[in-house]
Amino acid sequence: MKRQAPLVVIVGGGFGGLAAAKALKRSPVNVLLIDRSNHHVFQPLLYQVATSVLASGQIASPIRSLLAGQMNTSVMLGNVTGVDAASKQVVVDINDKVKLKISYDHLILATGATHSYFGHDEFAPFAPGLKSLADAESLRNRILEAFEKAEIEDDQGRRQALMTFVMVGAGPTGVEIASALAVMARSTFRQDFRRINPASARIILVDMGGRPLAAFSEKLSEAAMRRLTSLGVEVRLRSAVQVVDKEGVVIGSERIWAKTVVWTAGVAPSPAGKWLGTAVDGSGRVQIQPDLTIAGSPDLFVIGDTAALEQDGRPLPGVAQVAMQQGRYAAKSIIRRVTGQSPLPPFRYFDKGNLAVVGENFAVLQSAGVELSGFTAWLIWALIHIQFLAEASLRFSVFLQWMWTYVSGKRAARLLIRQPTKDISELLS
């Protein structure tokens, strides 16, 4: 990469970071995108990998491939561990090189979020979240293994625990996993087992709020609630999870024996606020200015789940559309500065609405005063999600897979893949 042009460093290859990198194509800057993973994943469909509808390769693309046509852009596989805003440097661990410092002219932090257990980090080993492909594949293994173990379990109590699944958090992710799991147990697995009845699986969705999908209108929440109930999902509202351990959960004073617990209750931002030593909100997100920079550092942008910004008196939601719009805004701001143009007006998010799928052929949609639930909303959900996949090949592959699943009721990605427990030489001896 030639260094005579200003260098824009982007940390994070998610929705925001990738949108920023693409918007800088053909601009008079050099771009370096750093990410811990070599791929961009379409997170809204992670639950379909976890429930065996899609394979991992159908919702993810190598970042290098996505940016291969941008001759001003390079990609680095590394773990950013700090930022020195005063000297305009990022600190990166790359292989055996620890605390390597890279200077920048402009920096875009799009470092995303991770799972939040609200002060109960001891829950983490027993209630994984769903933020990455590794999370999705691990959860798929746990789900498939639970049914396989139940098939050969003679003790009725242990068998029921294996076939009990608890989702903590009734937001879109929790609702989507619970409903997809219910469909899988009651239709896909219907004829596959001989000693168990997969339809007897107990699927529990727990939330402290008063309704599922609280970000939607009450009308759509009620529609989602009816749909969940019709699928056989037990919805426990206004219920606090007190304990999560290897035996299951305690909800209020009730112990529920469950071998699979999924945490979908909340997220925590990256440690960018600690790196920068700047003001953060109560969740730890960096408080940014209307131009997406932090006070005193006009060349440092923070976007997506890492940032906290209010619009019309309300905080912007942590959704992909916010990150993408902010990524493009940050890129345009940098181009204007480099080319000597006037600054952009303050960032303003255009809300395109909310969508959530609730099982097969049913979704809820809320956009610009329009509220839909049912099959039509599901078709719109499917079209939008296919449109936003990163590559045309993925759109084609996912469309065909969905059509096959819709017609046949079968799921193609039901492979239980585990690492061998013994060394191969030991097995061959």
Single out the catalytic residue among 176, 234, 391, 426: 176
SS3 261: strand
69, 70, 61, 132: which is closest to 389 by C-alpha? Answer: 61
Rounded-to-integer distance, Cα 2 and Cα 426, Å: 51
Rounded-to-integer distance, Cα 38 and Cα 60, Å: 10
- The b-or-e profile of 280-308 (16+ CB within 10 A means b, else e) is beebbbbbbbeebbbeebebbbbbbbbbb
Residues 6 or more apart whose Cβ sits within 8 Å of residue 403: none
352, 348, 366: which is closest to 224 by C-alpha? Answer: 366
Rounded-to-integer distance, Cα 326 and Cα 307, Å: 10
Rounded-to-integer distance, Cα 50 and Cα 155, Å: 27
Residue 165 amino acid letter: F
Q: Sheet of 297-302: strands edge to edge?
A: 73-77, 30-35, 7-11, 106-109, 297-302, 293-294
Q: How far is CA 57 from CA 10, 36, 40, 49, in A?
A: 24, 18, 11, 9
SS3 240: coil
SS3 279: coil
Tokens read off for 412: 């193609």
Q: How far is CA 332 from CA 160, 297, 359, in A?
A: 55, 17, 39
Q: What angle do CA 191, 196, 201 make, to 5 degrees?
A: 95
SS3 306: helix
Task: Indicate the Cα dihedral angle 48, 54, 55, 56, nearest 10°.
Answer: -40
Tokens read off for 163: 């076939």
Residues 6 or more apart whose Cβ sits within 8 Å of residue 226: none
Element spanning 9, H or E: strand 7-11
360 catalytic residue (yes or no):
no
C-alpha distance across the termini of the chain, in Å: 51
Provide the 8-state DSSP code for 78.
Answer: -
Q: Known catalytic residues? A: 176
